[in-house]
Structure 1
Amino acid sequence: MSDATGDATERAPSRLATLASSWAYALRTTNPPPGPIDALDPVTRWIVVSRAAVLPMTLVAGLVAALLAVGEPGLDWRWLVLAVVGITLAHLANNLMNDLYDTQAGSDTAQYPRALYAPHPILSGLVAKRALVAATVAVNLLDLVILVVLTLARGWPVVAFALAGFLLSVAYTAPPLRLKKRGLGEPDVLVVWGPLMVCGTYYCAVGHVGWPVLLASLPYGLLCVAVLMGKHTDKIPFDRPLGIHTLPVLLGDRRARAATLGLMVGFYLLVGLSVLLGTMPWPALLVVLGLPRLVKVWPHFRRPPPPEPPKDFPVWPLWYAALAWLHTRQAGLLLVLGLAVGALPWFAAHPLR
């Protein structure tokens, strides 16, 4: 009896450790760990399906808004937290909707990068289309509940921010606009991950918003666009024959890579301008610690991608997207750290209870 209990106790941590390792791998790479898809646990499966690995981009935007709101009159932590949850769920819903629309439109195929750098939710058999539709509806309904609560608390501008974000997210891939196909997907992302997310979350937190927050929302928006520019540059050989005219397709490979570098440089310049104009505290200049990462990825953007993926490279054929993401992740976290340091005096004077 005691031996059986001991064996079960030993197996439980092992199972939990295996699951945790699987979840961590999926969150780090957007891919399931090596092995048959049929053997995936439900959590890993939905981490991959929802592309949860990229949700930190939205979480950082929410944290930027939160730290800008610290010390402002009218700050209510309840609405701030709810708004951050809301924009994160909106990003998750957007990921699901994009896969649904692109599959229905026929642009997502087994030979298209979406199904190459990670298993496509439907094409790979990870989930049935019906389950993906159900998940999309459920996430959007939950977001709608959050929208109602925040609107009752803060008024109609919340609806304006949420509706604009939803419409732009849908129009990114869905007909009739399909902004991505017309070279407008990149500006769409700048507006959504910059002014709409940051200013919208800030408004929910304090009940007002002005031009200083608008300016402060732009640097991180540029980083998010840089990741998308890298991704669309990787996909030029696939998108051009399909008539998908993303901005990199219109610019051409060399100019698209130069533009992506310009966006990353622009992040540092805009943070400096924001500090100079007082829309960000001076510790935000900690972002300069991200420059070595930019220097490291810079030469790769000045030349074509390698003919073969490096060893253990998980998201091939994405190359520039991965490089831009490494820089965005570090620079974004440094921005959050700088803003947090700038907010420390307020927290010291107003300890949370």
Structure 2
Amino acid sequence: MSEARAGRSRLSSWLYALRTTNPPPGGPMDPVTLWIVVTRAAVLPMTLVSGLVAALLAVGAPGFDAGLLALAVAGIVLAHVANNLMNDLFDAQAGSDTATYPRALYAPHPVLSGLVSRRTLITAIVLVNAADLVILAVLAAARGLPVVAFAVAGFVLSVAYTAPPLRLKKRGLGEPDVLVVWGPLMVGGTYYAATGSITWPVLLASLPYGLLCTTVLMGKHVDKIPFDAPQGIRTLPVILGERRARAVTLGLMVAFYALVAGCVLVGAMPWPALVAVLALPRLAKVWPHFRRPPPQEPPAGFPVWPLWYAALAWVHVRQAGALLVFGLAVGAVLSPVAG
């Protein structure tokens, strides 16, 4: 195989893993593809969008520092990587992740599949958290203790999501955890790192995208009801029941648009953020699927089965989040003109 062809093959492998959380079927796995799969890098864009929301709200604010902003965005992305790795470690230790549980079915579990050893997984967790700690030290030196408060709160909630003794996921609190982390903590913390201040309008503006991220987790937990309920894992969808949980997830999707409009009305977001409504046709396509039970068999070529509602929610989040970022970017460009 020529060098150029080998390069194209590797790139194709990386893109496939980034799109599906799985390695390409039937092909060898290079180290980059391996770690894309192990870290579940396919879902990291959710965190990157939270960072971009904060960045676009912060541009032009008093005290704005682009270098500190870049560090903060890198920090929250690394925190998401650490969270994914820790969830896999703690769930496997607790016995909730098994070879027949969805986590090991929609994508290879790092340890259960043999991709990496438990020791390697722990080493990766330590290294990623150490890198985040260095970033935190730099940000704290520049912005003070509030940065530490944001980071520690995010770390505690991330660990408590699956780790004993709290195991928030098991108590119906995992979904609110995601709303708080991907909303006020990530957006608010990144904004504070970039500007050295935080305001209530910024925290309000953090909620719409936090809700979108919560819809993905709600969908995932609806998919896992048949697996979670027998184990006593009482996620919010287990508590609500499948039909009500699907209805609540749709309600959260609608609430995203209502919150964006509310943020524009009170001045927490610039008016171009309303371009997010262009994702409503995508919601209209997702809507009927959430109104009925999942199919008995996966559609042809569907890569993340038995996840169904999570994938549908992600399709909506991807477009709605991208449009929100675009609208905020237009607002950031127009604001000096408006001022």
TM-score by length of 2: 0.98
Name the SS for the 1:280 alignment partner.
coil
- For residues 150 and 45 of structure 1, the distance between their equivalents in structure 2, rounded to whole angstroms, comes to 31
1:285-323 CA-to-partner distances (Å, cap 9, x unmatched) read: 000100000000000000000000000000000000000
Name the SS for the 1:116 alignment partner.
helix
Question: Letter of the aligned partner of 1:170 in structure 2?
Answer: V
- For residues 204 and 119 of structure 1, the distance between their equivalents in structure 2, rounded to whole angstroms, comes to 36
Give the CA deviation at 1:81. 0.5
- For residues 347 and 49 of structure 1, the distance between their equivalents in structure 2, rounded to whole angstroms, comes to 43
1:249 aligns with 2:230: no
1:92-139 CA-to-partner distances (Å, cap 9, x unmatched) read: 000000000000001000000000000110011111111110000000
1:30-70 CA-to-partner distances (Å, cap 9, x unmatched) read: 0000016xx31000000000000000000000000000001
- Provide the residue aligned with 1:141 in structure 2: 130
- Provide the residue aligned with 1:7 in structure 2: none
- Provide the residue aligned with 2:51 in structure 1: 62
- For residues 242 and 55 of structure 1, the distance between their equivalents in structure 2, rounded to whole angstroms, comes to 28
- Provide the residue aligned with 1:32 in structure 2: 23
1:173-216 CA-to-partner distances (Å, cap 9, x unmatched) read: 00000000000000000000000000000000000001000100
- For residues 199 and 276 of structure 2, the distance between their equivalents in structure 1, rounded to whole angstroms, comes to 24
- Provide the residue aligned with 2:154 in structure 1: 165
Number of equivalent positions: 338
- For residues 38 and 336 of structure 2, the distance between their equivalents in structure 1, rounded to whole angstroms, comes to 38
1:232 aligns with 2:214: no
- For residues 95 and 199 of structure 2, the distance between their equivalents in structure 1, rounded to whole angstroms, comes to 42
Name the SS for the 2:74 alignment partner.
helix
Question: Letter of the aligned partner of 2:244 in structure 1?
Answer: R
- Provide the residue aligned with 1:284 in structure 2: 273
Name the SS for the 1:197 alignment partner.
helix
Aligned counterpart in structure 1 of residue 303 of structure 2, from 310, 314, 331: 314
Aligned counterpart in structure 1 of residue 291 of structure 2, from 295, 299, 302: 302
Name the SS for the 1:190 alignment partner.
helix
Give the CA deviation at 1:345. 3.0
1:14 aligns with 2:17: no
1:9-50 CA-to-partner distances (Å, cap 9, x unmatched) read: x701100000000000000000000016xx310000000000
1:92 aligns with 2:81: yes
1:147-183 CA-to-partner distances (Å, cap 9, x unmatched) read: 0000000000000000000000000000000000000
Question: Letter of the aligned partner of 1:311 in structure 2?
Answer: A
* Bigger radius of gyration: 1
- For residues 193 and 346 of structure 1, the distance between their equivalents in structure 2, rounded to whole angstroms, comes to 26
- Given that residues 32 and 45 in structure 1 are in contact (C-alpha distance below 8 angstroms), is that contact kept between their aligned partners in structure 2? yes
- For residues 147 and 71 of structure 1, the distance between their equivalents in structure 2, rounded to whole angstroms, comes to 23
- For residues 29 and 149 of structure 1, the distance between their equivalents in structure 2, rounded to whole angstroms, comes to 35
- Provide the residue aligned with 1:337 in structure 2: 326
- For residues 299 and 56 of structure 2, the distance between their equivalents in structure 1, rounded to whole angstroms, comes to 38
- Provide the residue aligned with 1:188 in structure 2: 177
Give the CA deviation at 1:234. 0.2
- For residues 304 and 157 of structure 2, the distance between their equivalents in structure 1, rounded to whole angstroms, comes to 26
Question: Letter of the aligned partner of 1:63 in structure 2?
Answer: L
Aligned counterpart in structure 2 of residue 123 of structure 1, from 112, 130, 133: 112
Identity %, equivalent residues: 75
Question: Letter of the aligned partner of 2:222 in structure 1?
Answer: T
- Provide the residue aligned with 2:212 in structure 1: 223
1:44 aligns with 2:48: no
- Given that residues 285 and 338 in structure 1 are in contact (C-alpha distance below 8 angstroms), is that contact kept between their aligned partners in structure 2? yes
- Given that residues 70 and 346 in structure 1 are in contact (C-alpha distance below 8 angstroms), is that contact kept between their aligned partners in structure 2? no
Aligned counterpart in structure 1 of residue 258 of structure 2, from 248, 269, 280: 269
- For residues 21 and 128 of structure 1, the distance between their equivalents in structure 2, rounded to whole angstroms, comes to 26
1:109 aligns with 2:98: yes
Q: Which segments of 5 or more consecutive residues in structure 1 lack a partner in the other structure?
A: 1-9
Stretches of 4+ moved more than 2 A in 1?
A: 345-349
Give the CA deviation at 1:219. 0.2
Name the SS for the 2:206 alignment partner.
helix
Give the CA deviation at 1:344. 1.1
Please, what is the CA RMSD of the aligned residues? 1.1
1:132 aligns with 2:121: yes
